[in-house]
């Protein structure tokens, strides 16, 4: 049980620099819960919220949604990222930012409509 939703806890989304920034957008949390329920498998968050200093340090995109707590990089246990990316693209064709990477998926709830990119 999570403290934010049935399957997620705040600590999973915390900035990796240790600054304490651990916010997550509620719409993003709903998307992740939907993925968790669809696959009936745990999700491992590799990057959630990032303070601007940490985003810059790791050479994150200047307009990254991570500093706004609206983005998440993750994997689904036992599911290939390309399958998760396909599910998201089909389920949310007119919303979400979706980054397709070989070893993880990026999803964000940016304003202004869908954005898609591949590694």
The verdict on residue 1 lying in a domain is no
**Which residues are bridge partners to 100 per DSSP?**
105, 118
The verdict on residue 2 lying in a domain is no
The verdict on residue 76 lying in a domain is yes
Q: Give the count of domains, the chain.
A: 1
Q: Which conformational region is residue 13 in: left (phi greater than 0), alpha (psi within -120 to 50 degrees), or beta?
A: alpha
Average pLDDT per 10 consecutive residues for the chain, totaling 119 residues: 88 96 96 97 98 97 96 98 97 94 97 87
Nearest to 13 by CA among 59, 74, 64: 74
The verdict on residue 5 lying in a domain is no
Q: What CATH number is attached to the domain comprising 105?
A: 3.30.1380.10
Containing domain of residue 95, as a range?
10-118
In this prediction, residue 2 carries a pLDDT of 80
């Amino acid at each position: 049980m999570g403290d934010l939703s049935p399957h997620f806890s705040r600590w999973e989304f915390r900035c990796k620099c240790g600054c304490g920034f651990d916010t997550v957008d509620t719409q993003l949390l709903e998307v992740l819960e939907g993925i968790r329920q669809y696959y009936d498998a745990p999700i491992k968050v590799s990057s959630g919220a990032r303070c601007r200093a940490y985003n810059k340090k790791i050479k994150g995109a200047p307009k990254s949604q991570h500093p706004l707590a609206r983005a998440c990089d993750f994997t689904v246990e036992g599911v290939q990222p390309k399958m998760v990316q396909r599910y998201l693209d089909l389920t949310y064709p007119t919303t979400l930012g979706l980054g397709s990477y070989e070893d993880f998926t990026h999803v964000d709830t940016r304003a202004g409509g869908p954005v898609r990119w591949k590694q």
